[in-house]
Amino acid sequence: MASETIEAFIENNQFRFQDELFELLRIPSIGTDPAYVTDTRRAASWLHAKFKCIGLQTELIETCGQPLVFAQSPPVAGAPTVLIYGHYDVQPPDPLGEWTTPPFEPTIRDGNVYARGATDNKGQLLTHVFGVESYLQTKGKLPIQVKFLIEGEEESGGAGLKAFFRNEPLRAESAKEKLRADIAVISDCSQYASEKPAITHGLRGGVYFEVILTGPNRDLHSGYFGGSVSNPANALCSILGSIVDQGGRIQIPGFYDEVQELSNDEQVQLQKLDFSENQFRDEVGANELFGEKGYSTLQRRWCRPSFDIHGLTSGYQDAGAKTVLPALASAKFSFRLVPHQNPQKIKEAVVHWLEEKCPPGIQFEVNSSAGVAAFVLETNSKYMQAAAAAIQAGFGRRPVYIRSGGSIPVVSLFTNELQIDTLLLGWGQDDDNLHSPNEKFSLNDFQKGIKTSCHLLDELAVVFDVSQY
């Protein structure tokens, strides 16, 4: 094999890695929008071809939804195995007018690549693909077995992945057997700040709702009818407006029953993180911060539940006044959940709340997602230590331990179905604009992520004491 070191290989190939990232970013794999189903599949094929090209065994696994891309190094029975997960679907790019350059034409500015999916998750997931490629190209063989599982429905409920775990459609090898691993790794979150790499040891969960309220059989003149017929828009505002009180506390009975306060140790850990409320406020551009009374901003973001409306539709939206009493109003909203809250129980409590608060003359229809449970992991496991050493080698700094407010649904499948822990090693930044216009990813961190991925394989091999195999 070539005598080039891995670090040199990564540096010598950095522009090719970038070109390949750009190829994937040009594919508009908007998984949530049925109009892009062919493009989404194209992203899966791109990854499938890439895995083949770097010398892994790979297959496209068909599901009821988007295909899963599976790849692995040649299997060795009983070999210690890391399972790397990522997702090739992206969020819709709208509002399009807010983008400085088009979302599916990756563009470099100030050392960042701007494109939908740059950080979430194409750029981050490719660090592991190129990490494995670099390792194989320079050393010929990986120190432990590697499996990749890349899905295309992370942003839209993951129906295909869930079906795969239930072995639908039936396959010779069950999902559990196929994915058997000792530890999972996901890079789909952020560092603590610029030059402050982190290991994320907890995520919030969530439940997502869509509700449609209907009243009269058509839009009515509010002069003739206002005051005598329930208005679905009014009803929606009052129902949703009653969910959180002025102190930022969710009012639904039983909502906080399972929520635990942070231990003293955990609070101390958070306080050590040198967080500036003012800097955070300025970065989001709000003139004041607001959240549940009695908790710091970091606690509110990572360790407390929250409620947010994502979209509201009703009535007349165009220019000028129109005194209409609309026949329909709808909303999309969700709750972020914390450890011990049961998504199913929360769902039932929310539906009950809607029933109670729905005024006379209004009917409602509600749909909700299956829900994702939150989790938090101990920070002192041997795997965490291996990840910390790899980050130290790849980023030149020791990571800090953080939690995060987002959700990655697959983690609970790994915990419950595969009985393995997940290392969340995010290379992004909080201001990467994921799900927003002008999403970006630092090309420096792209390269450091690739290096760290290589080091992680070596560090995990030490944990597994690979000489024994």
Sign of the Cα pseudo-torsion (307, 403, 22, 50, in order): negative
In the chain, the amino acid numbered 432 is D
Of these partners, Mn ion, ligand BES, none, which one is at the site of residue 119 (CB under 5 to 8 Å by kind)? none
Name residues whose C-beta falls within 8 Å of residue 360's C-beta, 6 or more positions apart in sequence: 230
Nearest partner of 75 among 53, 101, 56, 50, judged by Cα: 56
One of 120, 430, 439, 458 touching Mn ion (CB under 5 A): 120
Name residues whose C-beta falls within 8 Å of residue 140's C-beta, 6 or more positions apart in sequence: 1
Mark 171-200 with x for binding to Mn ion (rule: CB under 5 A) and - for no binding. -----------------x------------
**Residue nearer to ligand BES on the CB measure, 120 or 458:** 120
Binding of residue 154 to ligand BES (CB under 6 A) = yes
**Residue nearer to Mn ion on the CB measure, 133 or 188:** 188
Instruction: Tell me the closest approach of the beta carbon of residue 120 to Mn ion, in angstroms.
Output: 4
**Residue nearer to Mn ion on the CB measure, 124 or 231:** 124
Binding of residue 404 to ligand BES (CB under 6 A) = yes
- H-helix or E-strand containing 281? helix 277-284
237 phi, psi to nearest 5 deg: -60, -40
Instruction: Tell me the closest approach of the beta carbon of residue 8 to Mn ion, in angstroms.
Output: 31
Specify the stretch interacting with ligand BES by CB under 6 A; choose among 218-226, 243-251, 405-413, 459-467: 405-413
Give the active site residues.
89, 154
Residues 167-196 that bind ligand BES (CB under 6 A): 188-190
Binding of residue 346 to ligand BES (CB under 6 A) = no
Name residues whose C-beta falls within 8 Å of residue 272's C-beta, 6 or more positions apart in sequence: none
**Residue nearer to ligand BES on the CB measure, 182 or 445:** 445
- Rounded distance, CA 384 to CA 287, Å? 38
**Residue nearer to Mn ion on the CB measure, 121 or 134:** 121
Question: Per the structure block, which two tokens stand in for 182?
Answer: 């000792």
- Indicate the burial class of 226 (C-beta count within 10 angstroms; 0-12, 13-18, 19 or more): middle
Chain residues that interact with ligand BES, rule: CB under 6 A: 120-121, 154-155, 188-190, 203, 206, 372, 404, 406-409
Chain residues that interact with Mn ion, rule: CB under 5 A: 120-121, 188
